[in-house]
Each structure stands twice: as C-alpha cells, then as structure tokens.
Amino acid sequence: MGSRTVVGARRARTAVAPHSPVATKRLLTLLHISDTHIAEGDCPTGGGRIDPSLLPRWRRGRAWHGVLSHSTPAMLALAEFAARLRETEGAITIHSGDLTSWGAPRQFAAAHAILPEVLRDPKALDLSIPGNHDHWPGTGGVFGRSSSALQQHFSGLPWIRRIPLRADRLLTIAAIDSDADVAPWSNARFWGRGFFLSQLAELDVLLPRRAPGEVRVLLMHHSPFIDRYHLGIARRSRAALDLFLPRHGFRVILCGHVHRARGHLQICAHGQVLEARCGSTTQRDCVPADGTHVRHGIPQNTLIVHRLEEDDEGMLSWRSELYRHGLKGFEPAGKLAELPMV
C-alpha cells in the first residue's frame, strides 16, 4: 500500500473545438483497457489457450465469455492504436481488471510478457488492478483460493498514484481490489459480485484532504451502475462506496467487468460523478472450430480514451471517447460521456 507520483505525461497541447470559440488545453490523456482475459499462447488458434473441456459448455451456452482467453487480432489492433496515441498525446495506459482468463500462474506470466510488448511500454501495467477472474484458483474452475500469482502481480492494494498536470493541477488515481472480500467458495464468487469494505477502510486512512485543483479518480473492477445480483456489488460495499465518494471528493470512476462499455452520470452530495465503464478489450470473439464469425452474445471489444481538458477560463472537463474493434482496428464509436468539473 502507499502512494507515489507518476511522471512522464507529455506536455499538453492546445486545441480548438470545431464548433466552439473557447480554446481548450489538454492536460492528460488516458488509454483505458479492461478485461483482456489473457492466457498462455496457443499457436493453432491464434490467441490464448482454451481448456478443451470448456468448449462443449460454450456450445450449450453455459460458460463465461472470459474463459475464451484473448484474441490475437484484437491484440494487434490494440498495439497499433496504443502506439499512435502515445506518439500523438503521450497517453498513459490504465487497466481496470480481469487481466487473465482464470487466474493461472502461467496466464499472469503471459499477460506481463504480452501487454508491455503490445503497448510498447515496460510500465504498461503500473496502473492496473485485478478482477474477479484473476481471483479464481487457476484451475479453470471458479471456486477455491486464489493462486499465489495474484499477490505476486497485484501486491499493495489499495494504492494511490499522483500525476502532476502543472503547478496548480494534480490528478490522483486511487485503486481498489473490488473482489478483495469475496470468499473463495461463496455465491458472490460464483455470480461475480464485488465485496470490498476492507479496501475502502484502508483508503480512508491513506487519502489526505483533497487539495485545491486536485482531480480524484477511483479505479475499480466492478461497475457501481450494475444494480442486479449477477455481476453486481454487495449491499454493504455499495452503501460504503456511496459515502466514500463525497467524503474524499471523487468525481470519476473507471471500471470494467461487464464486457459492455457505458458512460453514466450520477448526482452525489458533492456534485456529479461519472462512471466510465470499459468493455472487454482483447476478449476472443469467436469459439475455435466454429469458424471466424462472431458468436451471438459475445460483446464487441472496446477501449476508451479519456482526456482531461482545461479552457481559457480555467474550467476543467473530463471527456471519454469510445472505440470499438472492427475491420480496420479500433474505430471511433462516439462520445461515451463528458463531465464538466465546476
């Protein structure tokens, strides 16, 4: 646990919106990916290895998308997109969980070999957190204690990272493991629910009073917008989160988990809070031996580009743009959400 300062964000450039007379200065660009579901390579299928015993379950519609591991075409498209964004905007990568397919030590090793190479950044996973799949025991099943690789690759949660934007502006990213309090043989484990009271309690101690000009972002795997039992958040954790956000001045939540991207604005005691949820980014989108067509029900891979901007009057705005994986790589899919920070 603890905090440190992230440096290396490229100097902001000035741009003028095409339909607005107000000039804006870009302070920061974040490349948000999630649910990569990486497994060790499998050359015959051109992606991550799949446990053969899971394929019959898939054809009956009785298996989770995440166990299909990663897609090589999506990885190549991510590499091209990330290289371009780093070159033009100095983007910093953030990963909101489910790094692996089912938490096996070899999958963690593959992820830490593949993603830094794909993103051309040895620190590509510095701003990453685990998801529920990373907590699985690594055997292909759901129940059981997490493998030792989880703590090796995700130690020190919760954590705080501070990114200086300029002399009087600061971005603080606080990260939690939203699966931290889920028992290994519980219904919550089976249904992918989040339980993280202990993580919020630790962050309560770690976080100082918010400074003037500081923007705070919470990074977590589970989506607070999802209010159903399946893939949702335990009631006590949700209630604690509702109090935690205004107490510490968090205005943005970055998450994943559901494999479908969405932007959502919610009114809280301290103003509007934006939840920007990334879908799966490199999930395999077809079942091997079933051809190359997208199987019905598997969501399209996505990523989000977040930009923190400031206008001539000193007003901040958080803008999130969605990109979907298509025939030409990750293609623009429109504005996901925008939050003026008054």
The pLDDT, as a whole number, for residue 295 is 53
145 pLDDT more than 90: yes
Residue 292 has what DSSP assignment? Answer: S
- Closest by CA to 22, choosing from 312, 248, 243, 326, is 312
Confidence of residue 139 (pLDDT cuts 50, 70, 90): confident
When comparing pLDDT for 14 and 220, which is higher?
Answer: 220
Mean pLDDT, rounded, of the chain:
86
When comparing pLDDT for 22 and 305, which is higher?
Answer: 305
CA distance 328 to 11: 29
CA 115 to chain centre: 14
When comparing pLDDT for 312 and 324, which is higher?
Answer: 324
The pLDDT, as a whole number, for residue 245 is 97
Confidence of residue 149 (pLDDT cuts 50, 70, 90): very high
Confidence of residue 211 (pLDDT cuts 50, 70, 90): very high
Confidence of residue 166 (pLDDT cuts 50, 70, 90): confident
CA distance 64 to 66: 5
Residue 171 in contact with residue 217, Cβ under 8 Å? yes
* Single-letter amino acid code for the residue at 253: I
CA distance 128 to 31: 12
| Mean pLDDT, range 302-326, rounded to an integer | 94
59 pLDDT more than 90: no
Confidence of residue 73 (pLDDT cuts 50, 70, 90): confident
